[in-house]
């Protein structure tokens, strides 16, 4: 009998976590082999591995403890990948040499599979004097563009591009530009961005005081604090970014505030980290621990929870020693502090099984009780480890126990720490679990509500046909098994589409009390929420003790990531098919139609030739784009790229042939623009017309884009581009909403914990 509760779970395991040979031959023949591989690898650092391996296996069995995806995929493989999820890079020096050394370190970290956070507040503002070169500084935003271009070219662990978080203090002189940077749909696409909001700033907002923008003691500008706050809120309302991080609260509550200052977080915000900070993640699956679900005596097995937490803490502590690290500074940081982040998933499902409605005061109280019990068990287990293996090297009992997180901890735990020390400086964090939640049977993700009771997933069959299967939430599936497939769901079954935003805040605040790091959580807001009500969400998060706040409001700019209806209309969809040669073409609405055969070249074509002069290059590049007119619409048909520079000959010929072949196949060819513009030259790019262009190829992509705009094939710069060319084949009029998945091309993207997660294949750039 399969251990998987749903077909999608086995698919996720096979695609993302199953160990295979280079040619795709499975090494892990079953999921039990995967659990054994992980258990062996993490027990290997013990003095008595034979004692601990079966205990570790038991924790993994039936998806009760879920290490983060990097551990599931990488432990025991001998591959050169890190098992750590989160990194914050070193403080970026305000020098050209230091900035590009930081860029190099970031590239090495991404190459091994780590998500990265950076604080750009340390770089002098735009227009500031650069001594010694008689020039003005270009500002932190210009260097963020360089980082963004680098990220596009680095495939983390050979599987996906890295995720990045950029932060900037609310008193930096360039904060206004930072706030609105992502209103340009083409800019900083590989970054999440968040403003570091300080306590004095929030006090100034509430008091309607003025606020100074300062760098190195010099005041560059003074403006009303409320005006700046409203600009942050307006940008978030319109573009879903920036997020807000309450940085002074994070530092005040930090167990290690006596040896570090935090100024950045990992990409999803659940791990505030110091320079070169690193953290690994794992989650207790609460949905698997409920006994007698949907009955009056339904409860979490608390003894099992305590035991499972203790085992998980030991496994994660061992991972610190079993992992590789991209940089020696990261390894030193991890060994000195042994920071880990144990969290939960399946919270919403567990609440449903207990008859509690997510977002109510009762559900929040139960969440606080569970997170308290996990925190207590985690601190007790880490104290026991310190007795056996020693405390983390930078442990200082008095300073550690004086931190904000420890003040409310039980006296017996505090006494144990004072006497024996503690193995891990920080222990709890609630991370995004979108992919591992699917792997575990489609349990609700992290502390998020159930996103949808069920949805349809398209499955590609070996013969090329497609079938549909229903993907059902774990708790809903259990309810159907218990009460019948046609039984009506009780009133306390709610999902992300029906909850009020302040219900989300209540749940985040309840969990935060006993989480010593932070929480990745998306507060879903209705599209028609008023701006004032939207601002109230962020103020409520501040007032209720949250360490940060991230919202998602569908609108014309952000799109609807996944449209869900509990009562779908009963109507037939058109059959998917390939268009016939030249007769079917994209309509004016932009629907994508792929052609079974390439178009034949007419005798004559209209086109334009563009001159591209790359700085410091002796010869210009000439780009000719010819178009074809089909059914009244003009589209690119072929390209010729020429240069007198013979060093360019081979690649310009190759590019000419490949792009022309793509154009003649028809369909949505805008991905050519995006792929070219993403190419990063390690020797450096160039500034062209006030914008940093990362390579000659990126400049060529820009020329093609401008041509497409000129002929009406694209609506505007950065508009209509796809993440990946693997879009669904469809007929005109059957166009899904939202963007396509970068991995499988489906349109089943959902916003979970600040990341778009694909319901079809589980892909998420955040892990």
Residue 268 appears among annotated catalytic residues:
yes
665: number of Cβ within 10 Å: 14
One-character DSSP codes across 643-659: ES-GGGHHHHHHHHHHH
Beta bridge partners of 713: none
101: number of Cβ within 10 Å: 14
Task: Give me the residue label for tokens 């720490």.
Answer: 417
Tell me which of 86, 151, 170, 268 is the catalytic residue: 268
Contact yes or no for 765/724 (Cβ under 8 A):
no
Backbone angles phi, psi at 552, to 5 degrees: -140, 120
Q: DSSP secondary-structure letter at 430?
A: B
45: number of Cβ within 10 Å: 14
Q: Bin 217: left if φ > 0, else alpha if -120 < ψ < 50, else beta.
A: left
Contacts of 723 (CB under 8 A, 6+ apart): 674, 739, 740, 741, 742
Q: Measure CA of the first residue to CA of the last residue in the chain; give whole Å.
A: 29
Residue 216 appears among annotated catalytic residues:
no
Q: Of all residues in the chain, what percent are helix, strand and coil, respectively (each to 5)?
A: 35, 20, 45
What is the C-alpha to C-alpha distance for residues 163 and 765, in angstroms, rounded to an integer? 6
What is the C-alpha to C-alpha distance for residues 634 and 623, in angstroms, rounded to an integer? 18
Contact yes or no for 536/543 (Cβ under 8 A):
no
DSSP reduced 3-state for 324: strand
Q: Write out 151-195 in H/E/C secondary structure.
A: HHHCEECCCEECCEEEEEECCCCCHHHHHHHHHCCCCCCCEEEEE
Residue 270 appears among annotated catalytic residues:
yes
Tell me which of 192, 251, 255, 266 is the catalytic residue: 266
What is the C-alpha to C-alpha distance for residues 85 and 109, in angstroms, rounded to an integer? 11
What is the C-alpha to C-alpha distance for residues 369 and 383, in angstroms, rounded to an integer? 21
DSSP reduced 3-state for 682: coil
Closest CA to 400 of 422, 376, 384: 422
Closest CA to 356 of 486, 491, 452, 482: 491
Tell me which of 53, 241, 260, 270 is the catalytic residue: 270
Contact yes or no for 579/549 (Cβ under 8 A):
no
For the chain, the residue count is 767
79: number of Cβ within 10 Å: 14
What is the C-alpha to C-alpha distance for residues 489 and 491, in angstroms, rounded to an integer? 7
Give Rg (Cα) of the chain: 27
Q: Write out 729-756 in H/E/C secondary structure.
A: CCCCCCCCCCCCCCCCCCCCEEEECCEE
Closest CA to 326 of 71, 103, 111: 111
Which of the residues are catalytic? 266, 268, 270
């Amino acid at each position: 009998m399969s251990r998987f509760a749903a077909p999608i779970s086995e698919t996720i395991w096979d695609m993302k976590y199953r160990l295979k040979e280079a040619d795709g031959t499975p090494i892990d023949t079953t999921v039990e082999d995967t659990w054994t591989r992980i258990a062996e690898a993490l027990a290997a650092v013990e003095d008595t591995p034979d004692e601990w391996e079966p205990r570790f296996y038991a924790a993994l069995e039936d998806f009760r403890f879920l290490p983060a995806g990097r551990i599931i995929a990488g432990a025991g493989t001998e591959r050169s990948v890190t098992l750590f999820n989160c990194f914050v890079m070193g403080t970026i020096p305000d020098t050209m040499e230091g900035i590009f050394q930081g860029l190099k370190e970031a590239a090495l970290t991404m190459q091994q599979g780590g998500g990265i956070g950076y604080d750009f507040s340390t770089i002098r503002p735009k227009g500031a004097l650069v001594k010694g070169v008689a020039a003005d500084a270009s500002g932190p935003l210009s260097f963020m563009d360089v980082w963004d271009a680098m990220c596009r070219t680095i495939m983390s662990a050979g599987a996906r591009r890295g995720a990045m978080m950029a932060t900037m203090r609310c008193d930096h002189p360039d904060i206004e530009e930072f706030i609105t940077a992502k209103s340009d749909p083409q800019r900083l696409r590989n970054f999440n961005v968040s403003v570091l909001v300080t306590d004095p700033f929030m006090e100034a907002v509430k008091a309607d005081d003025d606020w100074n923008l300062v760098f190195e003691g010099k005041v560059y500008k003074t403006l009303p604090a409320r005006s700046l706050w409203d600009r942050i809120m307006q940008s978030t309302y319109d573009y879903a970014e920036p997020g807000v991080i309450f940085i002074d609260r994070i530092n005040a509550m930090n167990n290690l505030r006596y040896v570090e200052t935090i100024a950045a977080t990992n990409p999803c915000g659940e791990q505030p980290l110091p320079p070169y900070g690193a953290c690994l993640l794992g989650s207790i699956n609460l949905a698997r621990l409920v006994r007698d679900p949907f009955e009056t005596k339904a409860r979490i097995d608390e003894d099992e929870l305590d035991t499972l937490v203790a085992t998980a803490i030991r496994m994660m502590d061992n991972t610190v020693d079993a992992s590789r690290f991209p940089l020696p500074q990261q390894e030193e940081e991890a060994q000195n502090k042994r920071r880990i982040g144990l969290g939960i998933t399946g919270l919403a499902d567990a609440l449903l099984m207990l008859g509690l409605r997510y977002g109510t005061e009762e559900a929040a109280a139960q969440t606080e009780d569970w997170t308290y019990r996990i925190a207590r068990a985690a601190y007790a287990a880490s104290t026991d480890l310190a007795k056996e293996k020693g405390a983390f090297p930078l442990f200082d009992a008095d300073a550690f126990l004086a931190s904000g997180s420890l003040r409310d901890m039980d006296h017996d735990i505090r006494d144990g720490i004072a006497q024996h020390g503690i193995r891990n400086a920080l222990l709890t964090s609630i991370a995004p679990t979108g992919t591992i939640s699917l792997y575990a049977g489609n349990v609700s993700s992290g502390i998020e509500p159930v996103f949808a009771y069920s949805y349809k997933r398209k499955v590609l069959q070996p013969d090329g046909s497609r079938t549909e299967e229903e993907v059902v939430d774990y708790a809903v599936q259990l309810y159907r098994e218990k009460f019948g497939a046609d039984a009506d769901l009780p009133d306390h079954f709610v999902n992300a589409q029906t909850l009020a935003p302040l219900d989300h805040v209540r749940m985040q605040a309840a969990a935060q009390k006993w989480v010593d790091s932070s929480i990745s959580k998306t507060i879903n807001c209705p599209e028609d929420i008023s701006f004032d009500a939207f601002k109230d969400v962020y103020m409520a998060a501040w007032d209720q003790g949250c360490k940060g706040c991230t919202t998602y409001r569908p609108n014309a700019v952000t799109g609807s990531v996944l449209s869900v209806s509990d009562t779908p209309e009963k109507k037939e969809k058109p059959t998917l098919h390939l268009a016939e040669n030249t007769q079917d073409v994209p309509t004016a609405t932009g629907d994508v139609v792929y052609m079974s055969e390439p178009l034949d070249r007419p005798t004559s074509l209209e086109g334009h030739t563009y001159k591209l002069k790359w700085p410091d290059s002796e010869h210009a590049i000439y780009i000719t784009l010819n178009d074809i007119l089909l059914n009244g619409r003009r589209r690119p048909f072929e390209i010729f790229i020429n240069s007198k520079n013979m060093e360019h000959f081979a690649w310009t010929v190759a590019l000419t042939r490949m792009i022309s072949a793509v154009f003649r196949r028809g369909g949505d060819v805008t991905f050519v623009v995006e792929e070219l513009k993403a190419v990063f030259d390690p020797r450096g790019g160039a500034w062209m017309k006030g914008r940093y262009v990362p390579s000659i190829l990126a400049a060529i992509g820009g020329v093609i884009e401008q041509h497409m705009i000129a002929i009406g094939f694209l609506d505007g710069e950065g508009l209509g581009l796809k993440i990946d060319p693997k879009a669904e084949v469809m007929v005109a009029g059957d166009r899904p909403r939202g963007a396509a998945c970068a991995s499988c091309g489906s349109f089943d993207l959902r916003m979970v914990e600040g990341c778009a997660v694909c319901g079809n294949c589980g892909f998420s750039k955040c892990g």
